[in-house]
Amino acid sequence: MHWVCHVVLSGAAFLAHEPTQSTSPPAKKPTRSAIAVPKPSEPSPASTKASAPVDKRPAAMVDGVAISVAEVNQEVAKVLSEDAVAPDVTALLQAQALAQLIDRRLILRNLSRTKVAADPREVDVMVQRLVKQLEPRKIPLEEYLRGQGIDESGLRHQITWRLSWGRYLERYLSDENLARYFEQHRREFDGSRVRVAHILLKPRAAGDVDGKGEADKAGWTEALDKAKQLREKIVAGELTFEAAAKQHSAAPTAAQGGDIGLIGRREPMPESFSKAAFALEKDQISPPVASAFGVHLIRCLEIQPGQGQWSDSRDELEKAMTQYLFRWLADKERTSAKVEFTGATPHFRPGTEEVAPATASPAP
């Protein structure tokens, strides 16, 4: 169901001041999910196991600079176990990895222009540090990189990214900015709870009669369309939310008009559901929201404000701001950058969550 995710986001603009720009990050972030944005860290000489030759074919080009298939595969390997994975899951992870690598290149474009990016000489120092770490184990750099599935160019890109992004975060993850972000998104971090009701529509697979089949694209589209129609009727006053839940919801709470009681921001509901619920004011109804369970319409019945302060949620605030700044910088650069896909790996079709399959032949 990844292609159909519709996450409703909220919050006022975070007024982080750019060194050379006067514009502030926008109030809302794009909905595309990707492999989590990592905190900067140094590469460690962990594995040198034998591996397939490094695939240097370009998976995408950003302003004429290649992102290799090897870089994509390495990102995917970070989140995959050695267990077998369904081909469609692998394709999704490859598309997400490529999307994130593209975003990193876009951000580095901005950081280079604003004199925040790491200097090549700094990267040289880090490469030499890695070489020295490998020396006691008598492992040549080339052998280590082969075990990691990348070449030296890929390593240098990784180091440049980690140094540059870390420097940027040091500048913006200040107490002042964390406190400001907290005030603008207080309900997400102060321990508030909301009482909500929902209508759950479960997509069906083609030809499925008992609701137990694997839903396909048509099933998700049908569920989304039905949710939109129900919302229109409820908002127009033609049908109450409670009545719609009793008639159409597949959730166990249907008989109670969909009321599931109080929920916290980060539990017990899926992230897309909680994010949408906490964006609502009392009596508001969300647009359709997709989760692993199906398509939801959510109504906010009550808001119980929390009493927490920004310092109580520092770790969560840092994670949220890191994601926010990552998305803001990438999207700001995307409008003027030239991004091209080669077809060597799956990728998201531009502007959508739909995965385009690889079209080029695998490397020999």
Domain boundaries, the chain: 7-44+58-182+317-356, 193-304
Question: Per residue in 87-105, pLDDT tens?
Answer: 778 888 999 999 999 999 9
Kindly state the average pLDDT of the residues 308-331: 91
The predicted-structure confidence for 31-71, as pLDDT tens digits, reads as follows 344 444 444 444 444 444 445 678 889 999 999 999 999 99
Residues counted in the chain: 364
Q: Which residue bears the tokens 């900067």?
A: 40
Which CATH fold would you assign to the domain 7-44+58-182+317-356? Triger factor/SurA peptide-binding fold (1.10.4030)
Comparison of pLDDT for 30 and 48, the residue scoring more: 48
Question: Looking at domain 193-304, does it have CATH number 3.10.50.40?
Answer: yes
SS3 for 214? coil
Which pairing describes strands 289-291 and 58-62: parallel, antiparallel, or unpaired?
unpaired
Beta strands in 172-258 (DSSP E): 193-201
Give pTM, 2 decimals: 0.70
Q: At what angle do helices 69-79 and 152-172 cross, to 10 degrees?
A: 60
